[in-house]
Amino acid sequence: MILTAPPRLLLVHAHPDDESLWTGGTIARYAANGAHVTLVTCTLGEEGEVIPDGLALLAADESDQLGGYRNGELRSACAALGVVDHRYLGGIGRWRDSGMVGVASNAKPRAFIQGDFTEQASALLEIIKEVRPDVVVTYGPDGGYGHPDHIRAHEITTVACAQSSDVRRVFHVVTSKRATEAGVAELSAVRDLPYRLPEPGELPVTPDEQISTVVQVADHLDAKLRALRAHQTQVTVWQNDSGWSCYALSNGIAQPIVDSEYYILASGVPDGIADDLFGGLG
């Protein structure tokens, strides 16, 4: 009998919903295939805008109860994706959502970007030492779209992984320019779309020649859509009878749901990574 340890994937995300928006298909696929998936979320997303009118009083400038509510949304999303190992960096409530770049909440004393960098990187390294992931996923240096918490998540992940002898690869999740443009072109033909289409260049995308790894998630889009729907304060998902689906954040811009998720190898051996984060690791 050969006992082979399951591959171990650890993802570091800034807020509840990022795991589903950026990597929901990847998480669902690897969890379904028996990988041990650990999700680390750095904040509770307290500064998020609230989409449903009936939940508007949860917002930071009202009752400031959004963080606790989003914890419940995240638990539902984890259930949809098959994540059984979820942690908040430093424990639940340790650091607060800093808000978008340049807003007053950036300066709140508990904001993630005001936190001690070494403490944050050390907290992540402790999780890495316990979980011993083969592969770690986070955002690129721009945080994917410039959010200061995403950038900090990238920075602490880079430092923590460099101090680990267990991590064999680090990937940065990105969105494909080609796939996004093709998806928007398809959505432009849908007549009953309830959102506005993005202007050219409005959605953050990465040129495809920079992408090292394309993870097919077509078989796991149902799980991804269920996870996105779980984040009802942040995301609306739309599907029509013809099978078209897309989602929008509070800005109301239609974003296509594509059948792959895209990565750039940041460190580790590149052999075998074209379509599998664990490819060639053996």
Closest to Zn ion by CB, 18 or 73: 18
Name the nearest CA neighbour of 78 among 263, 238, 230. Answer: 230
**CB-closest chain residue to Zn ion:** 15
Give me the amino acid identity at 216: Q
Tokens 């400031």 label which residue? Answer: 64
Tell me how far, at minimum, the Cβ of 144 lies from Zn ion, in Å.
8
Tell me how far, at minimum, the Cβ of 141 lies from Zn ion, in Å.
15
Name the nearest CA neighbour of 154 among 20, 38, 264, 270. Answer: 264
Burial of 110: CB neighbours in 10 Å, binned 0-12, 13-18, 19+: middle
Interaction with Zn ion in 15-34: which residues (CB under 5 A)?
A: 15, 18
Residue 223: helix, strand or coil by DSSP? helix
Give me the amino acid identity at 132: R
Closest to Zn ion by CB, 8 or 15: 15
Ligand-binding annotation for 142, yes or no, is no
Ligand-binding annotation for 150, yes or no, is yes
Tell me how far, at minimum, the Cβ of 16 lies from Zn ion, in Å.
8
**Is-contact 20 77, C-beta < 8 A?**
yes
Name the nearest CA neighbour of 239 among 228, 112, 250, 65. Answer: 228
Instruction: Give the total of residues touching Zn ion (CB under 5 A).
Output: 3
Tell me how far, at minimum, the Cβ of 18 lies from Zn ion, in Å.
4
Tell me how far, at minimum, the Cβ of 81 lies from Zn ion, in Å.
16
Closest to Zn ion by CB, 188 or 251: 251
Stretch that binds Zn ion, among 11-19, 28-36, 136-144, 242-250 (CB under 5 A): 11-19
Q: Which of 14, 66, 223, 254 binds Zn ion (CB under 5 A)?
A: 14
176-214 CB burial, b ≥16 within 10 A, e <16: bbebbeebbeebeebeebebebbeeeebebbeeeebebb
Ligand-binding annotation for 18, yes or no, is yes
Query: Which tokens is 257 given?
Result: 């749901």
Annotated binding-site members:
15, 18, 150
Annotated binding-site members for Zn(2+):
15, 18, 150
Question: Binding residues for Zn ion, per CB under 5 A?
Answer: 14-15, 18
